[in-house]
Amino acid sequence: MLWHVWIKPGSKIITIEETAELNLPHENWVSLIARRSYGLGENLTGEVTLFDLVKTSMRHRPDLIVVGEIRGSEAYTLFQALATGHGGMATMHADSIDSAVKRLIQKPMDIAPAYMPLMNIVVSIQRVHLPQSKTGEMTAYRRVLSVDEIADYEDYRNTFKWKAAGDIHACKTQEGIMLNHICERRGLTWDELAEEMKRRENVLRWMRQRNIRSYKDVAGVITEYNAKPEEFYEKEVLVDAPAKNA
């Protein structure tokens, strides 16, 4: 997953997990790992839960708190962090956005429905089986089934939806919320924002055409683009464009 490379290099990221899985090539990244209690019989000590770590992370004043998976009271604390202006990300298991929200508002997470708009975006990922183009043999893949924005409790705006026929995504970004917020906050017109999104799409296509696929190389390209987007785009992507179109 390359979500973190779009974050500004100076941002402080804290990841919280039960088992160390994330490895972010980020200068200001702090990893916190939960710990089970130890000892014999009833004399168990030293337990550090996800709930404890989320509370502790807020003292570090992070720009982004990432929780590996929320299942209990740590979810409530994470939403409290979101309400105070911290950025946050987390994963959970559910078969749809409706199921995810129902899990969040019920115990043990017990988050008030009024807090649901603090979640900007819900990305649903699922394992699917698709036929291979050459053999027709069914193979397992992971696909983003949908991207939904939350306007309010039970008010969701679908902006991307995966279609099995053709293995493509239908896009309805102009019906969403976040891109319009970005335009307002950055003083951009919709056309200017659309141009930037098109540039980023071209960078991804450029990497595919140059067979830049490893985690390290892709992260390096995106980080370089993020630092100086116009300079990188003109120097690398546009320079290669005539050769591709020839």
For residue range 32-62, list pLDDT tens digits in order: 999 988 766 666 678 899 999 999 998 899 9
| Residue count (the chain) | 246
**What pLDDT was estimated at residue 243?**
47
Radius of gyration of the chain (CA): 21
**What pLDDT was estimated at residue 167?**
92
**What pLDDT was estimated at residue 219?**
82
How does pLDDT run across 125-137, given as a tens digit for each residue?
999 999 887 788 9
- Beta strands 87-90; 138-152: pairing state: unpaired
Mean of pLDDT over the chain: 88
> Is the whole-model pTM more than 0.85?
no
How does pLDDT run across 158-171, given as a tens digit for each residue?
999 999 999 999 99
**What pLDDT was estimated at residue 244?**
46
pLDDT < 70 stretches in the chain: 1-6, 9, 39-44, 241-246
- Beta strands 87-90; 64-67: pairing state: parallel
**What pLDDT was estimated at residue 242?**
52
**What pLDDT was estimated at residue 237?**
87
**What pLDDT was estimated at residue 5?**
60
- The CATH class of 1-39+46-119 is alpha beta
CA distance linking residue 27 with residue 243, whole number of Å: 36
Q: Which residues pair with 156 in a beta bridge?
A: 150
